[in-house]
Amino acid sequence: MEKKKTLKIGRSDFGLIVKNNHYFVDKTMLIYNFYNSENDIILMPRPKRFGKTLNLSMVEYFFDIQKQDSAKLFSEFKISDKKDFCKNQQNKYPVINISLKNIKETSWDKCLESFKIEISELYKKYKFLLKSDKLEDYEKKIFESIILRTTSEVNYKFSLRNLSEYLRLHFNKNVIILVDEYDAPIINAFNNTNNSIKSIDKENKTYYENIINFMQGFLGNTFKGNSSLHKGLLTGVMRVGRESIFSEWNNFDVFGITSNYFSDSFGFTKKETEKILTYFNLQNKIKNVKKWYDGYRFGKINNIYNPWSIVNYIAKKDDGFKAYWVNSGNYSLIKNRIIETGVKEKIQDLIEGKIIKKELKENFVFQDFETDNELLWTLLTDNGYLTQTGKSKYRNYKLKIPNKEVRIVFIDIIMTWLNKEIKITRDLLIRTAESLINNKIQDFEKGFKQIIGDTLSYFDTAQKIDKKTKEKIITPEQIYHVYTLGLLTILSDDFIIKSNRESKNGRYDIILIPHNKDKNGVVIEIKKIEKQKTNENEEKFNERINNAIDIALNQIEKNKYYTELIINKIKPENIIKIAIIFAGKEPYITKIIKQIPKLFI
C-alpha cells in the first residue's frame, strides 16, 4: 500500500519535497513550455507566495547537469510523458539559481553587503571550479575574491555573467540562469529611500538610485550579449520597466498576470485544488475554500487559488479558515499608497464587492508613484490584492478583490487609517459598532460623536468643485457617507455592507445585512444641515435637528429602503432604522428632548 503523502510548508526545494513523499501539485509542464519558448529570456511576474521559488527549484532539478540522479523525481509527473524531450534535455546543462528575496536592508551600503554575501554563497556551491583546468589563474583569483568578499563592486556586477562563463568552460555547455524575486531589492530600496541618508559616494546618489544602477549591470551583463547563456528565467512580483533596470537589455519576453501564456503555471487551478482537497479528505470544504482562497484570474484562466493559503488551511484545518496569505508578508507599501493617494471611496466600493475599471500599466518606475496616482491599481493587482476579471475598453481592466482572505487586508487598511493615522482605538470602534447592531442607539450616538470629534477635523468637508466645469465633484454628504462606511467596515465579517443602492422607490445610503438571519439588520439615512448660526437660539437649532431626523426616518419608511432586508429574510422587528444628521461636523442620531426647567424638578 502506497504511503500517504504529507504537506511541507515553508520549503521550496523540489527535491526535498518529492524525495520525502510530500504532496506536490504538478507544474512540470512549465519546464517544457519554458524551454520551448521562442525567446531565450523570460520574465514571469506573479504575487508573493504563488509558487515562484518552488517552480524555479523544479526547473533547476530538471536541467542541472550536476543532479544526474534527479531524473527519477519526475517519473510520476506530466513532464515524464515527453520522453524525447526528457531524453535530450534532462540534466544536460549547468544551472545557476539565485534568489534575491532576502536582500532587505535600510541603506545602500548594507544592501551591497547583502549582495556580496548572497553571491559569495552562490559561488561556494561551485567551488569545484577552483580546481578546474579549464579556468585561467586570474579567473580563479576573481572567483576566490568573490567568495571572500574582498573584490570590487564592479566584479559583483559581473558576477553572474562571469560564473556562467566559468561553468560553460568547465562543462562545455551553455548555462541556464534562474533569478528569483529579481525585484525585491528594488522594492525595498524604494520603500527605504525617503527615510535614508544619501549614500556617501562621489555622485551622492540615493539608495534607490544606487540599486537601479547596480541591477542594470548585474542583470544586464548577465542576460544581454552573454554568449554563455542558453536560457534565462526570472520571477518577481512586478515588471519594473522603461528607463529602470531593463534599459540595458530588451531581449526578453514578459508573461505577467494578464498574459495567456504560462497562465496556469503559478497558483492552483480549480482542478488542482479540488484534487488536493479530496486527497486530504476535505472535499466537503470546497465551497468555503473557494470563498476564502479562490478568485484570481491569470490570463484566460479563471478560478486560480492561492497555493500558500490552500496548503496552510489543509495543514491547520482544525483551526478553520484564516487569512494565511495576508499574514505572510509586509504590505506597508500598499497601505501607504492608499492613504497617500486618497482613494478610500474606491476601496470601500471594492470591499462591498463592486468591480472597478482601471488601466494596468506594465512599464513604470517607482518614482512615477509620486505623480501618477493611477499606478496604485497596477501595484495592487501585481501584488495579488486585486485581480482582473476581464478587459474593458481603452486598455482598462475590470478589477475586484479576489476573495474573503484578501478582503481582510482592505478592512485592515481602513482600520489602520482610523487607528494609526487618526488615532482611534479599536476598542472604541468595536464598542460603537456593537451598540448599533444591538439597537442601543443612544450608546451608538455617544461613541459615534466621540469618534467624529476626534477625527473629522482631519477631513476637508467643504464642497469640491471642478475648476473647469464648475460642477460639484464631492459634496459634504458624500464625505460623511464614505466616512461612516469606513467606521462600519469593522462589521464586515458578520454583515454585508452596501451603500447607494436602488431600493424600491429610491436610494438608501447604507444598509447592513446580517449573515445570521436572527440578528438585527440596519438601514441608515445620512443628511446634512447647517450648523448652529450665531444668532440662532438653542431651541430653534434643536428643532431643526429633530425635523431633519423626522424627515430622514420618514424617507426610509416612504421609500421602503429596508426592502432588501426583508428580501434577505430579516424579521421586521429586527430592522433598525437610523437617521444620522450632520450639523457641520457634529452628528445627531437620537432626537433632542426639550429640557424641563429646573423650577419643576
pLDDT (tens digit per residue) in 56-74: 999 999 999 999 999 999 9
Q: How sure is the predictor about 456, in pLDDT bands with cuts at 50, 70 and 90?
A: low
Quote the DSSP letter at residue 132.
-
Q: How far apart are CA 187 and CA 194, in angstroms?
A: 12
Instruction: Check: CB of residue 220 under 8 Å from CB of residue 118.
Output: no
Helix (H, G, I), strand (E, B) or coil at 191: helix
Q: How far apart are CA 307 and CA 285, in angstroms?
A: 16
Instruction: Check: CB of residue 198 under 8 Å from CB of residue 210.
Output: no
- Considering only 344-358, 428-442, 526-540, which range has the smallest mean pLDDT? 344-358
Q: How far apart are CA 481 and CA 336, in angstroms?
A: 23
Q: How far apart are CA 498 and CA 474, in angstroms?
A: 19
Q: How far apart are CA 199 and CA 207, in angstroms?
A: 6
Please check the confidence at residue 537 and state whether its pLDDT lies above 80: yes
Which three cell numbers mark 81? 510523458
- What's the predicted TM-score (pTM) here? 0.80
- Considering only 210-224, 243-257, 283-297, 376-390, which range has the smallest mean pLDDT? 243-257
Write down the pLDDT at residue 419: 65
Q: How sure is the predictor about 188, in pLDDT bands with cuts at 50, 70 and 90?
A: confident
Please check the confidence at residue 78 and state whether its pLDDT lies above 80: yes
**Secondary structure (DSSP) of 134-168:** TS-HHHHHHHHHHHHT-S-HHHHHTHHHHHHHHHH
Range 196-204 average pLDDT = 49
Write down the pLDDT at residue 461: 44
Mean pLDDT of the residues in the chain: 86
Helix (H, G, I), strand (E, B) or coil at 358: strand
Per residue in 125-152, pLDDT (tens digit) is: 999 999 999 999 999 999 999 999 999 9
Q: At what angle do helices 286-293 and 270-279 cross, to 10 degrees?
A: 130
At residue 149's C-alpha, the angle toward residues 143 and 152, to 5°, is 80
Distances (CA, A) of 96 to 35, 65, 255, 380, 459: 15, 11, 21, 31, 53
Q: Which of 270-274, 298-302, 333-337, 342-346 has the highest mean pLDDT?
A: 270-274
Q: Spell out the domain ranges in the chain.
A: 14-254, 270-327, 332-412, 424-531+538-588
Instruction: Check: CB of residue 86 under 8 Å from CB of residue 72.
Output: no
Per residue in 458-502, pLDDT (tens digit) is: 444 444 444 444 444 445 566 677 778 777 888 888 898 888 765
At residue 11's C-alpha, the angle toward residues 143 and 54, to 5°, is 70
Q: Which has more confidence, 155 or 199?
A: 155
Q: Is the dihedral of CA 14, 16, 19, 21 positive or negative?
A: negative
Q: How sure is the predictor about 199, in pLDDT bands with cuts at 50, 70 and 90?
A: very low
Please check the confidence at residue 200 and state whether its pLDDT lies above 60: no
Range 434-454 average pLDDT = 89
Closest CA to 369 of 398, 334, 401: 334
Q: How sure is the predictor about 556, in pLDDT bands with cuts at 50, 70 and 90?
A: very high
Write down the pLDDT at residue 195: 46
- Report residue 520 CA to chain centroid gap: 33
What is the β-pairing status of strands 95-99 and 175-180? parallel
Q: How far apart are CA 92 and CA 66, in angstroms?
A: 9
End-to-end CA distance of the chain: 88
Q: How sure is the predictor about 196, in pLDDT bands with cuts at 50, 70 and 90?
A: very low
Phi then psi dihedrals of residue 99, to 5 deg:
-110, 135
Range 550-561 average pLDDT = 93
Instruction: Check: CB of residue 47 under 8 Å from CB of residue 380.
Output: no
- Which residues is 41 bridged to in the sheet? 232
- Helix or strand holding residue 428 (H, E): helix 426-437
Which three cell numbers mark 373? 496616482
Residue 315, C-beta contacts closer than 8 angstroms, at least 6 positions apart:
7, 9
Buried b / exposed e over 151-180, threshold 16 CB at 10 Å, is beeebbbbbbbbbbbbbbbbbeebbbbbbb
Q: How far apart are CA 144 and CA 414, in angstroms?
A: 52
Q: How sure is the predictor about 44, in pLDDT bands with cuts at 50, 70 and 90?
A: very high
Closest CA to 15 of 56, 92, 59, 70: 70
Write down the pLDDT at residue 466: 46
**Secondary structure (DSSP) of 256-304:** -TT-STTTTSSSB-HHHHHHHHHHTT-GGGHHHHHHHH--EEETTEEEE
